[in-house]
Chain A
């Protein structure tokens, strides 16, 4: 099961990196969204994938069965989903605002903060 997940995680990462290498901010955003999901899936796989044994201590036993599912990665993923969702929402607004103000979604043309022609400091006076 883990092997299948590992391949899927790899595919997610490659798609995310490919999209984030683009010049266009909307594609970068899509890459960020996929990257977040790739990480979530990775966390899920990291905590071993076991089918259908709920993490409940059986009557009479003093601890969990070894085959039981691991509940911790799900707590981690839940945290990560909330965080990446809120960041994604913020970034979407930010790039829309950037598109309105800078009149472009091409990051190669966003040169307001770092203009191409920057004078060197004077050599003396």
Chain B
């Protein structure tokens, strides 16, 4: 907007002058694809027969794009793209490192599995209420949260995924769902508002919202009251992640929607909270995280124990899985509490494992209810006789959630226990192991009652297991077994992701090439 006098300004100080390389578009593509497909599906809301045919290939494409993004980030290091070509910190940056790319890829895989399962469960009327558009917009929010490099932008993606999750939660409009949704909606809205408050203070302290910029300025040793601010972030993200003592919304709501939706939520939503917690506490404010370490340790221990104790005392298997989600969050927080690269690597590995596994376990619960006539452990029975392979597959998943070898839950727990012992937090290590033991009891009891106990005499005739359930379950179980047997590749990646969070020079370099990644 040069005036009539035309003073020549050198715009290369403010704008990216060179054309953006094609590869950088990959950073924005997952979000653009999800929003585009979501909008398209909304336009086609009266033609519900086309929804699945558009959404599922779209999700396959999303998995491919996220995999390509991960490949690129692993081979070339962190990638940054700025919106509108404004140089950071002025333009909104999308920055991807290994951590973000891994989470985005796993989220896409979990969503693909849930969407295939929806073919058998989500009825035409639920599709008319917009299951697939909400699903795509939810994924846009989740992918955006994993890929963005701007704190305020992270808040916006939180809200995008939150409003889509409201839509999914009340699909069907049963009174029970309305009840669960009310508590979920109000408490999550307060959590994101707290997050916004923290962002406001962060801006007041640093005068910038770009994550890399904040990370540099926080390391430069500003004496601002960052400890309080970090505590506020911990509360906001802890609430999103359902950490103790702000976990009550999760068991109140996760068992009310359709099983597909529960599986999706258990796989994606709380992990976004954990991701944001790790990103902000470990990468942006590491000194303050170290100061709050004892508090995070106490929270982690309490979350693990509360979760598994709730699961022990619950009769409804969906609610029981909700408590198991909470205890998993505690295990991830244990890695944040330890805070070194090894502990964080364990936490990231556990988060990826938990995304896949919790989705699969909710699908198992849905299938168990269809075979056994209900979600209550008092009525379920005879599943082993109904379907041998389904029982075997469930047992694999039950072992994996208890952290037994040779499945994917074993390795992150090894890492976490080792890291906790190395820092002298023996009671944290003991809690991780005790939680695994109690989880084994929880699922052993499920197997005993629901699978081995003979079915009640008046049990209804079982219908065969549809491919819509079998296919995603087999796929997810293959991931669980595969990464249990051959963990080296993923271990290597998660350790690299954790190292990148602890020493974010590559990330900073991708945002500020001129600064040379100074710390």
Which B residues are in CB contact (< 8 Å) with A51? none
Residues of B within 8 A of A120 (CB): 313, 315
Nearest CB on B from A80, distance (A): 6
Stretch at the interface among B186-194, B301-309, B413-421: B186-194
Identify A97's interface contact among B3, B178, B449, CB under 8 A.
B178
* Contact of B182 with A112 in the complex, beta carbons under 8 Å: no
Residues of B within 8 A of A107 (CB): 182-183
A43–B195 Cα distance when bound, in Å, is 12
Q: Cβ of B252 < 8 Å from any Cβ of A?
A: yes
- CB pair B189–A125 under 8 Å, yes or no, is no
Residue of A nearest to B204 (CB): A46
Please give, as numbers and ranges, the residues of chain A lying within 8 Å of B84 by CB-CB distance.
Answer: none
Q: Are B193's CB and A39's CB within 8 A? A: yes
CB atoms of B178 and A47 under 8 A apart:
no
- How would you classify the secondary structure of chain B's contact residues: helix, strand, loop or mixed? helix
With contact pairs A39-B197, A46-B204, A119-B378 given, residues A98 and B189 touching in the complex (Cβ less than 8 Å): no
A32-B190, A112-B176 given; A46·B185 CB < 8 A: no
Report whether B315 and A113 are in contact in the complex, using a CB–CB cutoff of 8 Å. Answer: no
In the bound complex, CA of A39 to CA of B196 (Å)? 7
- List 8 extra interface pairs beyond A35-B193, A46-B203, A83-B159, CB under 8 A: A43-B196, A72-B203, A73-B203, A87-B189, A113-B256, A118-B314, A119-B378, A121-B445
Q: How far is the CA of A90 from the CA of B186 in the complex (A)?
A: 11
**CB proximity to B under 8 Å, residues A85-125:** 86-87, 90-91, 94-95, 97-98, 101-102, 107, 110-114, 118-122, 125
Q: How far is the CB of A113 from chain B (nearest CB, A)?
A: 4
In the bound assembly, the distance between CA atoms of A101 and B451 in angstroms comes to 36
B313 surroundings in chain A (CB, below 8 A) = 120-121
By the criterion CB–CB under 8 Å, are B252 and A121 in contact?
Answer: no
- Collect the chain A residues with CB atoms within 8 Å of residue B377's CB: 121-122
Residues on B facing A (Cβ under 8 Å): 3, 5, 7, 9, 152, 156, 159, 162-163, 166, 170, 173, 175-183, 185-186, 189-190, 193, 196-197, 200-201, 203-204, 251-253, 255-256, 313-316, 376-378, 381, 445, 448-449, 453
CA distance A114 to B184 in the complex (A): 13
Q: What are 20 pairs between A and B in contact, CB < 8 Å?
A: A32-B186, A42-B201, A62-B9, A72-B203, A76-B152, A76-B200, A83-B159, A87-B189, A91-B189, A94-B182, A101-B175, A110-B179, A110-B182, A110-B183, A113-B253, A118-B315, A118-B316, A119-B315, A119-B376, A120-B313
Residues on the B chain within 8 Å of A20, using CB: 186, 190
> A9-30: which have CB < 8 Å to B?
20, 25, 28
From B254, which residue of chain A is reached at the shortest CB distance? A113
Look across to chain B and name the residue whose beta carbon is closest to the beta carbon of A86. B163
- CB-contact partner of B378 in A46, A60, A73, A122, under 8 A: A122
Number of interface residues of A (CB under 8 A): 44
Q: Report the minimum CB–CB distance from B507 to chain A (whole Å).
A: 23
Residues in chain A near residue B185, CB distance under 8 A: 90-91, 94
**Which residues of chain A have C-beta atoms less than 8 A from B203's C-beta?**
43, 46-47, 72-73, 76
Taking a contact as CB atoms under 8 Å apart, the answer to whether A87 and B163 are in contact is: yes
Select A94's contact among B181, B190, B381, beta carbons within 8 Å: B181
Shortest Cβ distance from residue B348 to the other chain A in the assembled complex, whole angstroms: 29
CA distance A120 to B189 in the complex (A): 32
- Chain B residue nearest to A25 (CB atoms) is B182
Closest 4 CB pairs of A and B: A46-B204, A113-B180, A101-B175, A112-B179
Whole-angstrom CA separation of A73 from B378 in the bound complex: 56
- Which A residue sits closest to B251, measured CB to CB? A114
A102 & B175 in contact (Cβ 8 Å cutoff): yes
A82 CB to nearest B CB, Å = 10
**Chain B residues closer than 8 Å to A121, beta-carbon distance:** 313-315, 377-378, 445, 449
Q: How far is the CA of A95 from the CA of B183 in the complex (A)?
A: 10
B159, B173, B176, B196: which contacts A113 (Cβ < 8 A)?
B176
Q: Which residues of B contact A110 (CB under 8 A)?
A: 179, 182-183
Q: How far is the CA of A86 from the CA of B176 in the complex (A)?
A: 24
Smallest beta-carbon distance A30→chain B, Å: 12
